[in-house]
Amino acid sequence: MDWLKNRFKYAGRGFARGVFRDRSIRLQLGLGLTACLVAWKLKCTAAEWLWILLAVALVVSGEIFNSCLEKTIDYISLKRDPRAALIKDMAAAGVSVLCLFAAVTGCVIFLPKILEVFS
């Protein structure tokens, strides 16, 4: 059972290090928490909550993977290489796709509720 506890310990340590050392991860986490506060305030349904939480989890996870990839490339080579730049750009594009999904999800769920409040 210790091996299982260690897995959670290592994952928690990695998450904490990412949050405290990486501005992009903090930004995405902050935006995700903001989306959750808006969902709570607008009294979203359980199904809507699942979509919101999925979008937040995907974006934060994508940002963590992107940061890991960037740090790995920086660790492997200190010199500039166009191949390394391409890899980093593609990883950033992956996060952008996830952010677009999250934004569309937020618009589909939040806009009708916000318009309802103001009408």
The reply to whether 17 falls in a domain is no
The reply to whether 53 falls in a domain is yes
Q: How many other CB atoms are there within 10 angstroms of residue 90's CB atom? A: 11
Residue 29, C-beta contacts closer than 8 angstroms, at least 6 positions apart: 19, 60
The reply to whether 14 falls in a domain is no
Which pLDDT band, with edges at 50, 70 and 90, does 2 fall under? confident
* Predicted local confidence at residue 83, as pLDDT: 93
Number of domain units in the chain = 1
In the predicted structure, residue 24 carries a pLDDT above the cut 90? yes
What domain range includes position 112?
A: 23-118
Q: pTM for this one? A: 0.91
Q: List the Cα angle 39/42/45 in 5-degree steps.
A: 70
* Predicted local confidence at residue 78, as pLDDT: 82
The reply to whether 106 falls in a domain is yes
Which CATH number belongs to the domain containing residue 29 in this structure? 1.10.287.3610
| Higher pLDDT pick, 57 / 3 | 57
* Predicted local confidence at residue 3, as pLDDT: 87
The reply to whether 40 falls in a domain is yes
Contact 22, 67 (CB under 8 A): yes
